[in-house]
Structure 1
């Protein structure tokens, strides 16, 4: 009877000569404790990141404190100049012009990308499944096009001689074009020669290519909001804009925070599209920080130390912005 009670309480007796495994104990095969396994599995990924990102970043920091040019590429030892590259960069007017262009462009492009992408995401949520899928596929074609092709498309549209934009503007009635734009003839308008109009075209290019990602991300977030909340809002007589402000926007704040950080990083670093629109680093008044860094580093005579210093400044600016937004995300999660 005692043995039967023991078996019933214990759920069965162990086989003779075998020890029961302790739950949570170290695995015998690897010899590692359970808490160490995730860190060991992260090692290969960390090594790849260190090789692809950390090592080049360290080299960039080192070069930014050196006088580095053609002679150094051929093997001559680089001269250590300390903070001279940074002082030279911060003392030039073109740096502050490039910084202004970068900040203003990124502010406008990020705002328009988020607004257009959110509007399209809400529209996709309202459409039926088949139509929503059709529109998503069409939008993603724009997002999937490489940056070089994006810029080539918009450069051809705004071409002074054969661009469709000048052709379309010439189709407007003269009185309307004169009233809206102050001119009636658009033949040969050189959109890409002036810094301001170049950035207007660049905003169109970046927003057109960037809003599909925002739209799909917002659509994914909307799918996770219970329909009961919207039904309750309709019963209370809430309009579409009030419902968006009171329900959709608060619930999608974490999504918008991440999308804002990503958009800022992408738009601050825009280079390829601007390079194609300008046909190279030709108009210094239209430089952003990325274009300025490349021009300093590789235009004859190459000054890679100065280019590296500009890149470090841009990286620091992006790190400050990223840390700020990540802190806001963490605070929202804690609340």
Structure 2
């Protein structure tokens, strides 16, 4: 009975369901597009968003850098093309070279401190228990989540000459210890944010405080991927902690450190918000970095947006060169 009913339902033709499934699969295929084109079509919306948010402003910045744009142009007067005059004025300006020096030195010191501190904290987190590690991660990531302007406000208050906790804490040190370390014992009213050197010390502390948590968590993620058998074998061979780090941890985390170094260089080269808040605006020309110099030229009276755009283009080119050289060195090392 079962065979008879089955044949009856299929109309005496058993392969019919197979043919219908093949026909439905053929109908489900998109018409007119080869299979290899579909992934590229799907990423077109993302590329359009990137072009609108990044590429278009970049092109406009390059165009403005070859124009004279001031108050008259803001009111609607067409901009005049000046060719490379904006770049000539920038390169002939002493403030540009002092700003470039400040930018490079700040980036070198900050990137180094951020990577060293972040790696140390990431290694420590890897040694802690899961519960304690999660607690510490939440704590340090709270600093990383603070917006740049808020970071500047926090550290401007801490380094305040009259009510800042930095001066208060230094005054708590024993006089002999403070004299031995700093050559002075009284820190009342110390104007940290007026002198370029002490201002950049405050800026370095501010940026490192907010940046090292990201490095630490990234290093922790890389350490979780290293097999524990390698460390056990190193301990059996009598390898110390520093030797184990150099021979096992550092080589295996090299891709992670490469990416983190590039990101840190880019972020620290274009620091602006924290410096603006600590400096209370573009007031001290000796403490300018390239971002602050570009802002001051473009928006401080009288506004010279063409010159400011030229400085921004130079900063962008410098970042591209530094990143390209670093990536090339990484590729060469991988090939060797």
TM-score, structure 2 normalization: 0.92
Give runs of ≥4 in structure 1 deviating > 4 Å.
Answer: 12-21, 331-335
- What is the aligned residue count? 322
Q: Provide closer, same or farther for how the CA distance between residues 13 and 200 of structure 1 changes in structure 2, counting only shifts above 3 A.
A: same
Distance across 2 between alignment mates of 1:98 and 1:17? 74
Distance across 2 between alignment mates of 1:68 and 1:311? 15
Unmatched tracts of structure 1, length 5 or more: 1-11
SS in structure 1 opposite 2:36? helix
Distance across 1 between alignment mates of 2:224 and 2:27? 42
SS in structure 1 opposite 2:210? helix
Match of 1:267 in 2: 268
Q: Provide closer, same or farther for how the CA distance between residues 319 and 134 of structure 1 changes in structure 2, counting only shifts above 3 A.
A: same
Match of 1:307 in 2: 308
Match of 1:179 in 2: 180
State how 1:81-230 maps to structure 2 within 5 Å: 81-230=82-231
| 1:10-42 deviations in Å (ceiling 9; x for gaps) | xx9786866958x9x997324211100111011
Distance across 2 between alignment mates of 1:250 and 1:280? 43
Distance across 2 between alignment mates of 1:142 and 1:18? 61
| 1:45-66 deviations in Å (ceiling 9; x for gaps) | 1101111111111110000000
Q: Provide closer, same or farther for how the CA distance between residues 178 and 16 of structure 1 changes in structure 2, counting only shifts above 3 A.
A: closer
TM-score, structure 1 normalization: 0.92
The alignment yields a C-alpha RMSD, in angstroms, of 1.9
Q: Does 214-223 or 29-38 show the bigger shift? A: 29-38
Q: Provide closer, same or farther for how the CA distance between residues 30 and 198 of structure 1 changes in structure 2, counting only shifts above 3 A.
A: farther
Q: Does 281-290 or 151-160 show the bigger shift? A: 151-160
Unmatched tracts of structure 2, length 5 or more: 1-13
Distance across 2 between alignment mates of 1:74 and 1:117? 49
Contact 1:297–1:303 (8 Å) recurs in 2: yes
